[in-house]
């Protein structure tokens, strides 16, 4: 029988088409910045930037100031712990009720009559709180409850709860269902089947994502300090406004240490439990290895007890007044806020300006994620433990070729990890204020600020992808004497690139939400308009601007989802 010739895949396939679309979007976004039509550099700001960088070598270290720094650090940690706890509670409830598999288990007849309408409608409702950034929630709650710690906790819990619900629902839907279907057909109650088959399989993925969300909460707690909620973000913002750079760097170092401790603790716990990654995209959620998951491990037990005790301690430390949730005054203020804000200010005269600013905001997010994605990919490999270090993928020798080379690769590894930590630890609004030292206001400083912040996050996530690569294919290539460059091109890159692209598109959704917070400090886009409306107490205009941001976030979410599926 004559063998059939292999057919060449079409040049313009869906992944290639999406790649061309994004390249064109980046080019148009660069044009939006006006870098070819106007001055973007502010020469007078270089002296301020020099003073800012010089102060990093002389932080304020007086005993009284260090005590203030410790109190601010504990406040930031407490906000993150409390907000994460409530968001996970909300996320578990929302994730179960917005998953397809829940409705399949509880009411299969409803699925047959109304396929996908039930959970899709519920997920659509969760898109609204998810699209509104926690800083906007904080500004809204401040008008209701003042500067009570309840503001920061709920500002984290509500949007993060919606995000957790979405991810948890996706994890549950992608978990293998065969045991669930088998028990359902045997007549076991649907709720019992759900709790004893699906949840145990998805547990490690759910737990791993909870660790990732806690790290995000640390950064959000710092951002919320800018609106007066207290903690490190509040102290950083005050020091930056008063140009006290020595004090500013002390707070920065405290933020670096806090993020570093959380990062290392999370990595250690996930390693002991067998959770390979913080965020598992484009992977089989049902196949997470349970190696290393030891329920009777004394260290895991001790860590669990510590975590359980930490939650009530944090609530006690910041003592939020939860009675305000059901007080008559809160109800009256909410009614007044809704009455003043509706109907939104929608007029044909404002439509061109809203379209222009929405386009700027979208361009800012595209440039930010392009910078973060390319920088994250480049920095992720030297930040990986199993890449350039002795015994790694591209350095198979256990001892290195020489003492000098061994020291050099370790310095590169630690320096790259430090750069990624600094980038993600400093909040995006602070990066925007630093960029505005030397750049004129516009979408470019906002894009740079968001790009740097998300570069640190993406670089760390991508490094974990490389660290968790399956070893047999790579070892087979090396055993055949394949050069290191070819091992990278034909072994490492094909296995990592799809996951990298998935992470980039996922963070693009987050970048879209974060454009508002850099816009509030003068970086352009809809955030700048929102800042003006907040200053003038224009409530109907604020609702209109937030509605535009929600629609943009939903658009980015939709495009991201389609393109992720095309590249999967």
Location of structure tokens 């994502």? 209
Instruction: List, in sequence order, every residue forming a beta bridge with 439; answer none if it has no partner.
Output: 41
E strand segments, 40-196: none
Within this chain, do residues 480 and 506 fall inside the same structural domain, yes or no? yes
> What is residue 190's predicted lDDT score, i.e. its pLDDT?
72
Location of structure tokens 């944090």? 314
Within this chain, do residues 268 and 397 fall inside the same structural domain, yes or no? no
Backbone angles phi, psi at 436, to 5 degrees: -75, -5
Within this chain, do residues 291 and 363 fall inside the same structural domain, yes or no? no
Within this chain, do residues 316 and 356 fall inside the same structural domain, yes or no? no
In a domain, 46, yes or no: no
In a domain, 315, yes or no: yes
How many domains in the chain?
A: 2
Last residue of a domain, one of 306, 332, 358: 332
233-238 long-range CB contacts below 8 Å, 24 or more apart?
233/76, 233/427, 234/72, 235/68, 235/69, 235/72, 236/427, 236/430, 237/430
Look up residue 3 and give its DSSP letter: P
Residue 190: Cβ-neighbour burial (10 angstroms; 0-12, 13-18, 19+): middle
> What is residue 118's predicted lDDT score, i.e. its pLDDT?
66
- Summarised one tens digit per residue, pLDDT across range 281-298 is 555 444 444 443 445 678
Within this chain, do residues 360 and 483 fall inside the same structural domain, yes or no? yes
CATH number, domain containing residue 354: 1.10.3720.10
> What is residue 154's predicted lDDT score, i.e. its pLDDT?
94
> Please, what is the end-to-end C-alpha distance for the chain in angstroms?
35
Within this chain, do residues 448 and 492 fall inside the same structural domain, yes or no? yes
In a domain, 140, yes or no: yes
> Using CA atoms, how far apart are residues 472 and 463, in angstroms rounded to an integer?
19
Last residue of a domain, one of 332, 364, 393: 332
Within this chain, do residues 442 and 312 fall inside the same structural domain, yes or no? no
Backbone angles phi, psi at 395, to 5 degrees: -145, 75
> What is residue 289's predicted lDDT score, i.e. its pLDDT?
41
> What is residue 8's predicted lDDT score, i.e. its pLDDT?
62
In a domain, 190, yes or no: yes
In a domain, 210, yes or no: yes
Q: What residues contact residue 253 under an 8 Å CB cut-off, 6+ apart?
A: 59
Cα torsion 550, 555, 560, 565 to 10°: value is: 130
Within this chain, do residues 354 and 312 fall inside the same structural domain, yes or no? no
Within this chain, do residues 495 and 562 fall inside the same structural domain, yes or no? yes
> Using CA atoms, how far apart are residues 358 and 527, in angstroms rounded to an integer?
10
Rg (CA), the chain: 25
Instruction: Of 379, 377, 386, give the one whose Cα is nearest residue 412.
Output: 379
CA distances from 368 to 364, 365, 379, 442, 453 (A): 6, 5, 16, 13, 9
Within this chain, do residues 319 and 394 fall inside the same structural domain, yes or no? no
Within this chain, do residues 324 and 184 fall inside the same structural domain, yes or no? yes
**Within 13 Å and on the Cβ side, how many CA atoms surround 459?**
30
> Using CA atoms, how far apart are residues 63 and 2, in angstroms rounded to an integer?
84
As a three-state string, the secondary structure of 15-45 is HHHHHHHHHHHHHHHHHHHCCCCCCCECHHH
In a domain, 319, yes or no: yes
In a domain, 9, yes or no: no
Within this chain, do residues 490 and 440 fall inside the same structural domain, yes or no? yes
Last residue of a domain, one of 304, 332, 360: 332
> Using CA atoms, how far apart are residues 140 and 154, in angstroms rounded to an integer?
11
> What is residue 286's predicted lDDT score, i.e. its pLDDT?
43
Instruction: Of 200, 168, 160, give the one whose Cα is nearest residue 99.
Output: 168
> What is residue 75's predicted lDDT score, i.e. its pLDDT?
94
Range of the structural domain that residue 502 is part of: 350-568
Chunked mean pLDDT (size 10), the chain, 568 residues? 59 78 89 78 83 91 94 94 94 85 69 57 80 88 89 93 88 81 78 78 81 89 86 89 90 93 85 68 46 60 85 93 89 87 78 89 93 94 81 62 70 91 90 87 89 93 85 76 79 86 89 86 82 85 89 87 78
In a domain, 86, yes or no: yes
> What is residue 108's predicted lDDT score, i.e. its pLDDT?
60
Instruction: Of 256, 279, 225, give the one whose Cα is nearest residue 80.
Output: 225
Backbone angles phi, psi at 159, to 5 degrees: -65, -40
């Amino acid at each position: 029988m004559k063998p059939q010739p292999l057919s060449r895949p079409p040049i313009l396939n869906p992944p290639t088409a999406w790649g061309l679309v994004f390249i064109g979007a980046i080019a148009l976004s660069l044009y939006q910045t006006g870098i070819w039509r106007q001055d973007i550099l502010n020469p007078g700001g270089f002296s301020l930037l020099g003073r800012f960088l010089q102060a990093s070598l002389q932080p304020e270290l007086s005993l009284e100031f260090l005590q203030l720094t410790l109190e601010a650090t504990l406040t930031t940690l407490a906000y993150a712990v409390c907000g994460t706890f409530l968001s996970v509670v909300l996320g578990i409830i929302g994730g179960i009720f917005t998953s397809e598999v829940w409705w399949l288990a509880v009411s299969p007849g409803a699925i047959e009559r109304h396929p996908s309408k039930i959970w899709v409608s519920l997920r659509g409702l969760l898109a609204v709180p998810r699209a509104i950034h926690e800083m906007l929630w904080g500004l809204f709650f401040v008008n209701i409850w003042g500067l009570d710690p309840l503001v920061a906790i709920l500002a984290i819990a509500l949007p993060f709860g919606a995000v957790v619900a979405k991810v948890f629902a996706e994890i549950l839907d992608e978990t293998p269902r065969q045991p669930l279907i088998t028990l359902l057909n045997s007549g076991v109650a649907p709720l019992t089947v759900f709790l004893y088959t699906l949840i145990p399989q998805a547990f490690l993925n759910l737990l791993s994502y909870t660790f990732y969300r806690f790290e995000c909460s640390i950064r959000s707690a710092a951002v919320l300090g800018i609106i007066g909620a207290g903690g490190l973000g509040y102290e950083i913002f005050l020091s930056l406004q008063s140009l006290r750079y020595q004090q500013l760097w002390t707070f920065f170092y405290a933020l670096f240490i806090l993020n570093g401790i959380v990062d290392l603790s999370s990595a250690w716990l996930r390693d002991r439990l067998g959770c390979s990654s913080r965020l598992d995209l484009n992977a089989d959620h049902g196949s997470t290895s349970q190696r290393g998951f030891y329920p009777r491990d004394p260290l895991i037990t001790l860590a669990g007890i510590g975590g359980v005790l930490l939650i009530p301690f944090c609530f006690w430390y910041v003592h939020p007044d939860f009675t305000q949730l059901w007080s008559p005054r809160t109800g009256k203020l909410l009614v007044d806020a809704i009455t003043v804000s509706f109907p939104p200010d929608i007029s044909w005269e404002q439509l061109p300006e809203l379209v222009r600013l929405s386009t700027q905001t979208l361009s800012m997010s595209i440039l930010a994620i392009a910078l973060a994605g390319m920088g994250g990919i480049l920095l992720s490999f030297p930040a990986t433990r199993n890449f350039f270090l002795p015994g790694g993928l591209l350095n198979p020798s256990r001892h290195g070729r020489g003492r000098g080379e061994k020291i050099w690769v370790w310095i590169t590894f630690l320096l790259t990890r430090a750069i990624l930590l600094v980038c993600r630890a400093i909040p995006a609004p602070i990066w925007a204020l630093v960029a505005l030292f030397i750049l004129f206001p516009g979408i470019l400083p906002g894009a740079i600020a968001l790009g740097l912040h998300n570069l640190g996050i993406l670089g760390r996530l991508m490094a974990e992808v490389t660290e968790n690569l399956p070893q047999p294919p790579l070892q087979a290539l090396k055993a055949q004497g394949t050069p290191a460059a070819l091992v990278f091109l034909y072994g490492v890159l094909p296995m990592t690139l799809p996951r990298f692209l998935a992470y980039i598109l996922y963070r693009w959704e987050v970048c879209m939400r974060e454009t508002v917070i850099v816009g509030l400090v003068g970086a352009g886009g809809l955030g700048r308009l929102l800042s003006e409306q907040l200053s003038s107490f224009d409530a109907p205009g604020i609702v209109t601007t937030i509605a535009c941001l929600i629609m943009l976030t939903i658009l980015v979410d939709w495009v991201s989802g389609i393109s992720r599926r095309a590249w999967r």
